[in-house]
Amino acid sequence: MDHKWILSERLSREVGFRAACLDYLDSVEADTDALHNRQADLLGEMGAHFIEKDAWETLSDTQPPKQLVHKRIILPLREEILSRKHGVIPPKSLIFFGPPGTGKTHFVKAMAGKLGWWFIEILPSLLMADGVDKIGANLRTTMEKVRKLDEVVVFIDEFEEIAASRDEASRIDRSITNEFLKQVPMLKKPGSKILLVCATNYIRQLDAALLRPGRFDCIIPVGTLDEEGRRTILQHYTSKIHARDIDMDLLVSLTQNFTPADIELLFQIIAQRSFEQEYEIRQECVVTTDAIISEISKFRPSLTPEMIEEFKQDALKYSRI
């Protein structure tokens, strides 16, 4: 039998077939290790962190937009074969919009946890760190790094700061929005596992070109909580204070128009009060339903009827899901 002599990739000389195969596997392994090391370095440099899966469970099934995101984004990304079979294209770029404190950031983190992907936040302030003239260049470099990563949720909060409407913007703002318009399609390579999520309180201020189909796959409203949503969050924060026998139905009925951020702040106030009280009187102090109601009556929720109305109009005009 003829013995095949094959050129070794690593040694650049002819070796036996088995040796060449082993050598090839070694070099593939070394390449994969190097790739992983490069990715790990980049993840560290970009401040990536891993979110616990449990974060998803803190969202009630009715908290907007949990069901929608589950069906439209998480399932297609996780069930790749099934989604390919049915021609479903998983969304790669999203905008979340809604009033302050409605849980947009919390939601994006929970999504990353549910997917088991890394979470990276790109702060507009960091893009601005070298001066306004450099924002476009910084955005380009950051996105080049992002494209080298795999299984990441990339989050940009206060998106209007870098993607404001070009009609009213200065020359520099316009060039940043233009850069963004170039970068978004580049992140959406078929097969890539990068999900870009941008959040804003001011969807009306975003450049119309960014909102057109083809740039962002989904534009998702994140609005007020219904009773079930409030109940889940009230239970979450009640479990963190020193309380007993709380009438949850009553609290749910008294916290209409409260955002998650309002509920969190309310419970911080309650916790501080009971802590101070026990410190002063040196006797066990248990928070009661009445004590919580008393704080609720003094609390001004951040959503006004005008803000809710405005949000409803925006949801009708801008949502794409």
For residue 1, which amino acid is it? M
Bridge partner residues of 49 (DSSP) = 119
Is residue 59 a contact residue for ligand ATP (CB under 6 A)?
Answer: yes
Nearest to 93 by CA among 183, 182, 196, 198: 196
Nearest to 162 by CA among 177, 141, 172: 177
Residue from 104, 114, 230, 231 that binds ligand ATP (CB under 6 A)?
Answer: 104
Question: Smallest distance, Å, CB 233 to ligand ATP?
Answer: 5
How big is the site for ligand ATP, counted in residues (CB under 6 A)?
Answer: 17
Nearest to 163 by CA among 180, 150, 146: 180
Is residue 103 a contact residue for ligand ATP (CB under 6 A)?
Answer: yes
Is residue 302 a contact residue for Mg ion (CB under 5 A)?
Answer: no
Question: Smallest distance, Å, CB 114 to Mg ion?
Answer: 18
Question: Smallest distance, Å, CB 266 to Mg ion?
Answer: 19
Please say which residue, 58 or 319, places its beta carbon nearer to ligand ATP: 58
Binding map of Mg ion across residues 143-162, x = CB under 5 A, - = no contact: --------------x-----
- To the nearest 10 degrees (0 to 180), the angle between helices 260-281 and 289-298 is 120
Residue from 155, 166, 260, 311 that binds ligand ATP (CB under 6 A)?
Answer: 260
Is residue 105 a contact residue for Mg ion (CB under 5 A)?
Answer: yes
Please say which residue, 93 or 274, places its beta carbon nearer to Mg ion: 93
Nearest to 313 by CA among 163, 98, 158, 165: 98
Is residue 238 a contact residue for ligand ATP (CB under 6 A)?
Answer: no
Tally of CA atoms within 13 A in the half-sphere of 154 that contains its CB = 27
Residue from 23, 79, 151, 264 that binds ligand ATP (CB under 6 A)?
Answer: 264
Is residue 63 a contact residue for ligand ATP (CB under 6 A)?
Answer: yes
Please say which residue, 14 or 54, places its beta carbon nearer to ligand ATP: 54
Give me 38's structure tokens: 């490069």
Residue 201 interface partner, choices Mg ion, ligand ATP, none, CB cut-off 5-8 Å depending on type: ligand ATP
Residues 6+ apart with CB under 8 A from 313: none
Question: Smallest distance, Å, CB 104 to ligand ATP?
Answer: 3
Q: For residues 301 and 297, what is the distance between their CA atoms, to the nearest angstrom?
A: 10
User: What's the distance, CA 66 to chain centroid?
Assistant: 13
Please say which residue, 157 or 262, places its beta carbon nearer to Mg ion: 157
Give me 310's structure tokens: 């405005």
Residues 6+ apart with CB under 8 A from 140: 179, 183
Q: For residues 128 and 172, what is the distance between their CA atoms, to the nearest angstrom?
A: 11
Question: Smallest distance, Å, CB 200 to ligand ATP?
Answer: 8
- Residues 104, 199: contact at Cβ < 8 Å? yes
Q: Please tell me what DSSP assigns to residue 3.
A: P
* Chain residues in the site for ligand ATP (CB under 6 A): 58-59, 63, 100-106, 157, 201, 233, 236, 260-261, 264
* Chain residues in the site for Mg ion (CB under 5 A): 104-105, 157
